[in-house]
Amino acid sequence: MREWLRVDVRRAALALTASALVALGTWTNTAQAAAATEYSVESAKASRSLLIDAAHAGPRLVVVGDRGHILFSDDQGKTWSQARVPTRQLLTAVFFLDDKRGWAVGHDAQLLATTDGGATWNKQFEDLAREAPLLDVRFIDAQHGFAVGAYGALLETTDGGQHWQDVGERLDNPEQMHLNAITQVKDAGLFIVGEQGSMFRSSDDGLTWTPVQSPYEGSLFGVIGTAQPRTLLAFGLRGNLLRSTDFGDSWHAIEVQTPRGPLEFGLANATLLGDGSLVVVGNGGSVLRSRDDGQTFSLYNRADRLALAGVSGLSNDRLLLVGQGGVHLASAEGADEVQP
């Protein structure tokens, strides 16, 4: 069974698999959508609901997740405000270019945008008939961005999201492997990872894409560029963590040990902290940190063992973690809940 979900918590919480998704219709503009706009329901418990991703909008924190919930915090995660969002669909990823301009993606191939740091959002694009999710979004600059998703979906905009075009034909992906994540690699270009170890890279801002031979045949849920040129990490099922220093020409498997042997929890997301260290999170409350550009990692499993889907750095060597149970504040090693 082909699974498009980046983390097991999504599959468990929503009981959805790719085999249940029906790809019908063609891409449509938001103005052509037949359904009336429904806004996410305001809830005092939104910060404790299922949340999937987190990002910085300048000093502000923004998180996205189930039922169209988008929340923002201006005090390092101590308190949260709920944004007005024109959807009730699961949102899977969020990206900010600066302190004002950001984008979020989710089910029904929805793309949302904000110009006020995440306080309010508008819908730029959706495809209701396709019933397939977008899973990640990345902008090179204010005008040029990409979104990736299920069934090989690759969307591009060159006008800040006013128009989106399906450019999946640029990929050598005949089986339409699900594309789970996209990142920008320093001094190299764009990199995509997905289902069954699929990898693609572009050194010309997405104009052309080349498939990359992967050393792993299982699904990769995330990818991140490090502080070093041409260096990136890809990660996914069963604790698989791969590092390349040459933009994917070669790979080295990073083994993370636990008291019971190699880590086997799925890894979902990662962030680069201000000091250049890397943090990767995943199932079983797993929090991995590397201080040597991803060559080695220390591991901490949180006592609650809740699946983690997203991570972002805070001040004073602290982390914002999101996933099951919503928002969690922790030390940069993942230990000891930090009380507001």
Residue 338: the pLDDT is 56
Residue 258: the pLDDT is 86
Residue 30: the pLDDT is 39
Residue 205: the pLDDT is 98
Residue 340: the pLDDT is 47
Separation in Å, CA 220 to CA 157, 173, 201, 321: 25, 15, 15, 20
Residue 339: the pLDDT is 52
Identify the structural domains of the chain with CATH numbers, from first to last: 8-25+143-331 (2.120.10.80)
Residue with tokens 């504040």: 329
pTM for this prediction:
0.89
Question: Which residues in the chain show pLDDT less than 70?
Answer: 1-35, 336-340
